Amino acid sequence: MREGGKRQGVSDADDPGFIHLREVVLMGDDMGQDFLGSLRALLIDLDGVMYRGDAPLAGALDAVPILDTLGIQHAFVTNNATQTPEQFQVKLAGMGVPVEARDVVTSSEATALYVRRVAGPGARLCIVGEDGLRQVMLQAGFVIDDEDAAVVVVGLDRHLTYQRLVAACQAIQRGARFVATNADRALPVEEGWWPGAGAIVAAIATTTGVQPTVIGKPEPTLLTVALERLGADLQHSAIVGDQVQADIRAGRAAGIGTILVASDPVGPDEPMPDLVVRDLADLLDRLRTARG
Ligand SMILES: [Mg+2]
């Protein structure tokens, strides 16, 4: 259930339908060189690829300088709508990874772009979400107005009250569009799972009978916005992520290459990534080899 990833209560060893990662890695070895050699842009997932919690993962500290040396453009993409790109910049800098805020594309920003397209600049919004989402929407020129909202924007809100759910449901019943930053069902925490944005979205969808437009992974919009910002073409771009259900599906939907960091097993009905690597450090080694 992690961001729509691993099946709860099923380990890969218990389920014969799971393809074991070691085999997939070996398949990737045969096919990977041309694919890696052709890459000009990488979209890199943050949680599970660059860091877990507050700890950087293997390769995270070297990624930016190595990609720069290889002439590979990059952007960091995250479904997390609770923080601004500037806050992610500070978090990464604290781990010794210097990035520009502009290099981080969150589902909030992709949501702002989408809302501007469908409802126009300056549209009135009812927002269920945390400060990061509110700030991005206000900076984008939208106006918060629960009573007269044209769009209800829903993201993860760890201070959610029943009254916020009421406001969102009423606005939708008055005809507002329903847009979700992401539909991650659960948040992985040390002691298990907390309700994710998807759980809040489900409460509103259940009440109103209206399904939202979802912006974040596994939908392609977040990746499309990041690619547009880089000016990258689909043919020479790929996403690096740790979750088949979110990252690999989104990459497929966006029409770019897909690279799985092997923490999530690939199930029988799930899309196979173009390449599976052990971690980001492994990918950087392979990119250097492929570039000679
Ligand atoms: Mg991830």
Each residue of 152-172: pLDDT tens digit? 999 999 999 999 999 999 999
* Beta-carbon contacts of residue 69 (< 8 Å; ≥ 6 apart): none
Q: Write down the catalytic residue from 12, 45, 62, 184.
A: 45
Q: At 134, which amino acid appears?
A: R
Q: What tokens appear for 99 in the block?
A: 């990035």
Residues 75-93 have pLDDT tens digits of 999 999 898 999 999 999 9
User: HSE on the CB side for 250, CA within 13 Å?
Assistant: 38
From the CA of 272, how far away is ligand 1's center (Å)? 17
In a domain, 101, yes or no: no
Q: What is the pLDDT, as a whole number, of residue 13?
A: 36
In a domain, 247, yes or no: yes
From the CA of 246, how far away is ligand 1's center (Å)? 8
Longest dimension (CA), the chain: 60
269 is catalytic: no
pTM of the model: 0.81
Question: 203 and 128 in one domain?
Answer: yes
Q: Write down the catalytic residue from 47, 103, 264, 274.
A: 47
Q: What is the pLDDT, as a whole number, of residue 10?
A: 30
Query: Above 70 in pLDDT, residue 30?
Result: no
From the CA of 49, how far away is ligand 1's center (Å)? 6
Cα Rg, the chain, nearest whole Å: 19
Q: What is the pLDDT, as a whole number, of residue 267?
A: 73
Which residues place a Cβ less than 5 A from the ion ligand 1? 45, 47-48, 242
Sign of the CA dihedral with 50 first, then 55, 57, and 59 last: positive
From the CA of 84, how far away is ligand 1's center (Å)? 17
285 is catalytic: no
Q: At 97, which amino acid appears?
A: V
Sign of the CA dihedral with 230 first, then 219, 152, and 101 last: negative
In angstroms, the CA 158 to CA 215 distance is: 20
Segments forming the whole domain that contains residue 143: 112-214
Q: What is the pLDDT, as a whole number, of residue 291?
A: 83
Query: Above 60 in pLDDT, residue 290?
Result: yes
50 class by beta-carbon count within 10 Å (0-12 exposed, 13-18 middle, 19+ buried): buried
Question: 257 and 194 in one domain?
Answer: no
Question: 235 and 194 in one domain?
Answer: no
Residues 257-285 have pLDDT tens digits of 999 997 666 777 888 899 999 999 999 99
